[in-house]
Amino acid sequence: MAQEEKVLVVERRVVEQAGMFQGLTFDVERYLPRLLAPGVPRFIVRSEAETNPAFKQLIPYVIISCDGKILSYVRGKRAGEARLVGLRSIGIGGHINPDDEMPLLESDFRDVYLTAVQREVAEEVAIEGTHRDTVVALINDDSTDVGKVHLGIVHHWRLDAPLVHKREQMMTQMTFMTPTELHQVRETLETWSRLCLNGLGDELQITNYKLQKDPR
């Protein structure tokens, strides 16, 4: 029998202790150190994580932009989250699964998390050239069944050149779009993308939180 998938979670109470919110919060420094503190993140089987709102699955949600345009795509029929199939998204990323080199008991989980984000993006798209990565917000939406058990960490990757190629077959209609063009099709956007588009501004120009790797 195949072993059931495990995903990275934190207990909901950790978010509540920092201050539960609905939609976007830009107070990244208030939440992220608590979420990535030693002993706080852990892995549980996905079947429990998807149905137990006592846990929040940590989902990196990476927005990729270049020259004022934002990468977007439509989730195809083979998408991992069936409830999001057919919706347009501006976020790349997904569940973080265990890895042989993921010691959760180390003093700082930042390095592990950032490595996982890089891996998640690389599984879905190939990016030529360099980029700058900043964490711009956290996202929570308890109004939907999907949102109740997920917590998004919104990254903004600014590319030096718009050279992106898809690797994941479930991604269709991938293209760079201006904020105006995305607003014109906002009814087709998944909830998180709609919240990000509305809250982050046309150029995603807000105070950014640089999540540095541990220098030790």
pLDDT tens profile 148-175: 999 999 999 999 999 999 988 888 899 9
- Phi and psi of 6, rounded to 5°? -110, 150
Beta bridge mates, 57: 9, 150
The predicted structure's pLDDT at residue 100: 44
Residue 212 has pLDDT above 60, yes or no: no
Tell how strand 55-66 and strand 69-75 pair up: antiparallel
Q: Would you list the domain boundaries of the chain? A: 6-200
Q: What is the CA radius of gyration of the chain?
A: 16
Of 12-21, 71-80, 102-111, 183-192, the poorest mean pLDDT is in: 102-111
The CATH superfamily holding the domain 6-200 is: Nucleoside Triphosphate Pyrophosphohydrolase (3.90.79.10)
pLDDT category at 38 given cuts 50, 70, 90 is: confident
Tokens of 19: 């201050």
Tokens of 102: 């993921």
How far apart are the C-alpha atoms of 210 and 52, rounded to whole Å? 31
Highest average pLDDT, of 83-87, 94-98, 135-139, 143-147, comes from 135-139
Report the mean per-residue pLDDT for the chain: 84
Residues in the chain: 216
Kindly state the average pLDDT of the residues 118-130: 91
Region for 67 from its dihedrals, namely left if φ exceeds 0, alpha if ψ lies in -120 to 50, beta otherwise: left
Q: 108 or 182: whose pLDDT is higher?
A: 182
Q: 109 or 82: whose pLDDT is higher?
A: 109
Residue 211 has pLDDT above 60, yes or no: no
The predicted structure's pLDDT at residue 204: 56
Residue 215 has pLDDT above 80, yes or no: no
